[in-house]
Structure 1
Amino acid sequence: MMPSSLAAPANGGPRTMRIVATGLLVVMAALYVLSRFMEPRHSGWGFVRAFAEAAMVGGLADWFAVTALFRHPLGLPIPHTAIIPRNKDRIGATLASFLKDNFLTPRVVARRMRRMDVANAAGRFLATPTEGGRLRAGASRLAANVLESLDQDRLGGMVKGAIAGRLRALNAAPLIGQAIAAAMQNKRHLPVMDALIQWGSKVLLRNEATVRAMVSQRSGSILRWTGLDERIGQAVIDGLYKLLDDMATDPDHPLRIKAEEGLAQLAYDLQRDPDMQARVDRIRDELLDNPAIALWIDGLWESARAGMLRAVRDPQAALAGKLGEMLRQLGGTLQQDARLAKTINSFVRRAVVGAVATYGDQIVTLVSETIRGWDARTITGRLENAVGRDLQYIRVNGTVVGGLVGVLIHLIDRAVG
């Protein structure tokens, strides 16, 4: 452990520590020169000289060792130097094998996943928004940037094409038939029939004059001369009113029964008649080819995109409404319902283990090929940035420890002499 007085600041990077280590070596060299001149004047300088001399040897040895990891010291092609650049392919393969054997095996992943309570962690995140504020803000910015950076024409075309494709692939006739059959079975069609009868009464009320005119036009001249056409027209209107009134008040009216039989037959044909299903498919395709439907799909996409942008730009506002309340309730449920949490954790564990079993070898190959594709300068720079600061500490420690060993040897030499 190096003395705390020689330690660099906690935030010192590899470059700072390299300057400290090299500066310490220069100081030891200067101290050695000074002690050589001062030693004849006082024997205590012998200890200083021994410390500085051994410190230079230790510092230079560790400088050579650290430098030899990444490059040739002083640019000289000394054997067994520039170890990392020369062996980067082997390092990549070894690292990939290490990942595969120690991390990316189903048995290891399953054992580690058993210790993780994913459901409880997700529940805390959803139930307490403040805990994930920074993560949520970062994710929101990322999502907004992704949405805004994508080509809207291409993305919109893909989404709208997917919507239209799904609608065209939808076999609507059986679904409609099943919905009608289910509605009739539960008597939910009766309010619709009542509404249609009431609508018919209102239409007849607004068009009485039209009915009278039609009867008059089709009556003979004698009927019009005698005024019987008006009486016949009024009788027709009264008869229609009575028919509609009887249908509204009598659930077993013959026309209502006929209408229900026709509705039941329609539900049957929609589910089982190929000709009826083909007719519905043609109607579906004609609707989708209509420019109005295309505009509706365009508006649907634009509204969805605008809503997503509003939500990701201001996640707190989005989570303050019903969506936020739903997510908080879900978070509370995940924390309180042990059975649901167990199911979710089991599902996540199986999914992760399955992904590792399926894609583990591909991940290992990706790591190995990525490192193999780096040039020597890239891998050297990345490793130096990752561990360079600690390696410079080795130089500092070597200088200090070497000096202390030198003092110890000098002390033993004086005692023996």
Structure 2
Amino acid sequence: MTSGKHRVIGKDTPKTDGIDKVTGRAIFGADVYLPGMQVGKVLRSPHAHAVIKSIDTQKAETLPGVKAVVTSADLPALSPGDPGRQGAITDRDFYLTREFLAREKALFHGHAVAAVAAIDESIAEEALGLINVEYEVLPHVLEPEVAMKGDAPLLHETLYTRSQRGTSDEASNLAEHWELNRGDIERGFAEADSIVEDSFSTQVVHHGYVEPDSETAYAHPDGTVEVWANTQSIYSTRSDIAQLLDIPLGDITVNPTELGGAFGGKETLRASGLCVLLSKKALLPVQVRFSREEVLRGTGPGNAIRSTVKIGARSDGTITAIQARIVFDAGAFPGAPLRSAIRRVFSHYRTPNMKIDAYDVVTNKPHVAAYRAPGATPTAFSVESVVDDLARSLSIDPMEFRLR
């Protein structure tokens, strides 16, 4: 404000990038072109869960016009605790290197298992068809509550459940059990005049951004690497490339392109890691563009949940207890946004008694990505639905109930 008047509210605000976008000067991922640039294509698993017994790339490598073929054999070996370019290798690094290019197993339908770089798209597509992958198909699991059971197909032999009590002794699809407790939950419900409990099931929802992923990289002969990425997170992209591909951080430059929508879906490492790997082998710039089908099959959607929420309140609208059990579907790798969801949703309601159990569970689906307040939308849907019903059971307007 200046002299009691708004400087922005009620005023026209120029869109600083508007002219570039309407005149075509703005550079999006697919607009990047470098001399000698090769076309990158990705071979994806047709199975939701399978051991990769062998990958034969010889025919693809000898096809005229093919400049590089890469598999997980071209990736540095990473083990948690080992020294890395960005500090010790973490569990996240261990799983991320398996996410953008499958190693021991394909863990979802569409999981990248190999990539090629060629002089044009038709040759690159032909080369993909010449790669022979021998799979041992395994049972798969798509429902998170089924995945939690002891007899469910196991995705990761290295994944153990973490909780406030410590780490489990047996491998499991349950990556984490997070608890939030306050007061005496049983006493809280005993003091309530009305209690409402309900269960909810939501599905994964993809961001549906207008611009599919399109990224480019050039690994120069002197060891430096340039990347052109349609990413929301240039610094984490740079750090992940350094850590996963064993390249000094100072040798990497990430140039952000315009974004044709993202909404959280373009925060993590996607095509650019493959571009760098292919470029290092081809000694030429490489661009990888995902089709819409590849975006839906191979990149992260917003997560699904299975939840049961129970809330009690006195007749005057005072909440006496909140209890919730929420199972977050993380997709093929751990890291569902359970903490951010719980903080965003349950912090709105005051109660002396609370018990929340949240679970991070892996299933044979693409690993979830952030999506507009990660995890909060499906969680809020569950909680607010119960709050609406509870207010009505007390003959209180739902809006008034929230304001009290």
Asked if TM exceeds 0.5, the reply is no
Of Structure 1 and Structure 2, the greater strand share is in 2
Q: TM-score, normalised by structure 1?
A: 0.18
Q: RCO greater where, 1 or 2, for CA within 8 Å and sep 6 or more? A: 1
Of Structure 1 and Structure 2, the greater helix share is in 1
